[in-house]
Every structure is written in C-alpha cells, then in structure tokens.
Chain A
C-alpha cells in the first residue's frame, strides 16, 4: 500500500497515518513507541537532541516489524535534517514522501528560478550519511525543480496540489 504526504516549508504537514505511526512518549526520552500524537509532539521529535536519540534507537532495532517503523522514522530524520537546514528558505518549496511496502522515496522540490546546485550537493551528502548509518533501510532521494508562474497568485493549497500531482 502506498502512502503519500507533502511537507511544505516552513510549516510541516503530516497525514493522520504518519502522525499516528510515530511518537516519542518516553518521559526520559530514551525510547520510541508507536501511539497517537499531535502536531506539537512531532515538533519535539524534530529537534537535534531527539534526532540523536532516534539514531540511537534505530541502531537497536532488530525485527522486521521494528524496521518497518524505522523506515517511517528515517523519513522524519530526513525531513528534519533538510528542513532544519532550509527552514524559511523559499527555495525549498516542498518535500513529498511516497512509501510502497518497505521502500521510501523522497522528492525534494525547489523553486529557485535560477540554477543552483548547493542544496542538491548537501542533500547528496545527507543521503550518503544516512545510507552509511542504516545500510538496510530502503530509501532514495530525488531532487526536482518546480517554478510556479510568478505572474499568477496561486493559493498555497492549490500550489501544494500541483506539487502533489507532479
């Protein structure tokens, strides 16, 4: 089954399924569990401190079921790493993620009307780092450019829809 979500900088948008899939509930922040959470809890996950704890936690996963959750978490790490670097930078217009079975495909869209490969280079470095840390996780990052028509005032919701269909 495939699930798709769109995360638009600087705010994040999650599907309900995603929000319910990942949670940080341990008071001492040493363990991740699956439970229903709200948006503010996700924001807590998207911090550097928690990111390290997620990395530590992923290193302990053993079973197939746990690894399935880990592929969701890797998405969070990726979104976190990218968006923390580019929070508020309009060039990053959206990140979509599509999951099919155990495989996650992330597509980063930029809207810079002029050629710029700096973001792509950093994303490739990030991808290499994650692949070294989690060699068994199935994921890939694609990088595309979406330049909206500056002459038209496209509402954000419609723009997201266009990105979603791309």
Chain B
C-alpha cells in the first residue's frame, strides 16, 4: 500500500501535468484522464489521512471493483459534494477514453472534437480544484 505522502505527491504531480495538458489545448482526453488520476490519488491521501484506510487494504473484504470501493469510501468519509465532483471527473475520464464516435475522422481522436476546450478547463480549474479544496478543509491531516 502506497503511503499518505506518496499519494499526495502523485496527486500534485498529476494535477500539474493535467494543467499543462489543458493549456496546450491538445490531447483533451488525456488532460481529463490525468485530472481524474490527480483526484484519485488525492482521495487516497484523504482517506488515509482521515480514516487510516486505503482502497487497497486487504482487510476490506468486499466484492467491489477498486474504483467503486474508492468512490464509496469517499462518499462515506467526506459526504456528497466531493463525491459528486470525483464521480464527474471519473465519468468524464471514462467517456473521454472510451468515446465511441462512429462518425469521427480517425485522423483526429474523437474526444478532441467532442470535448470543447472550455469544458476541459472547467473540469480542471473548477471541479478538480474545488474537490481539492473541500478535502483539504475537511481532512484532519495536512493535505497542503
């Protein structure tokens, strides 16, 4: 199990990379995906910091997929608002990678035409940022 600081560092690293990708205006699917993985590692740090539990703990003996388990732990630990933002990033990340557009020109990735640039900016500058702020405020540990 990666520890609290490892998840926190990875979250910050991913967040910076997501911002860089978004600024470039290209690879929007990966900008969204990296933003989600920034949120994922931040969520793990927040779960460890608040409840001393990690999604990959072997004593969490349920049948859930890791993504679902993590989201459910987040909902139970931090409430509806951060869950809503986390799920939005998670859903958009899946949609960006698995977008099935049979009309698309394969010279251009489908997500590039489907996700307007302002949507990508909003996901990173508003959804990810506010998710970050809420957990930072609610976690008894230092997530800064």
Binding site for B on A (CB under 8 A): 100-103, 105, 113-115, 117, 120-121, 124-125, 127-128, 131, 135, 138, 140, 142-152, 166
Give A128 to B84 CA distance when docked, in angstroms. 8
Give A158 to B34 CA distance when docked, in angstroms. 34
> What A residues does B87 contact at CB under 8 A?
124, 127
A138 touches B103 (CB 8 A): no
Task: Quote the shortest CB–CB distance from A89 to chain B (angstroms).
Answer: 18
Size of interface on B: residues with Cβ below 8 Å to A: 31
Give A146 to B101 CA distance when docked, in angstroms. 6
> What A residues does B95 contact at CB under 8 A?
143-145
Most buried by B among A121, A124, A149: A124
Give A162 to B95 CA distance when docked, in angstroms. 17
B98 touches A144 (CB 8 A): yes
A138 touches B102 (CB 8 A): no
Stretch from B8-16, B53-61, B114-122 at the A interface: B114-122
A145 touches B75 (CB 8 A): no
Cβ of B100 within 8 Å of any chain A Cβ, yes or no, is yes
Cβ-neighbour of B68 out of A113, A140, A166 (below 8 A): A140
**Given A115-B119, A138-B63, A144-B94, A128–B99 Cβ distance below 8 Å?**
no
B102 touches A144 (CB 8 A): no
Cβ of B35 within 8 Å of any chain A Cβ, yes or no, is no
Add 18 more A-B contacts to A121-B84, A145-B101, A147-B100 (CB < 8 A). A103-B64, A114-B114, A115-B114, A115-B115, A117-B88, A124-B87, A124-B88, A124-B91, A125-B84, A140-B65, A140-B71, A142-B91, A143-B91, A144-B95, A144-B99, A147-B99, A152-B102, A166-B98
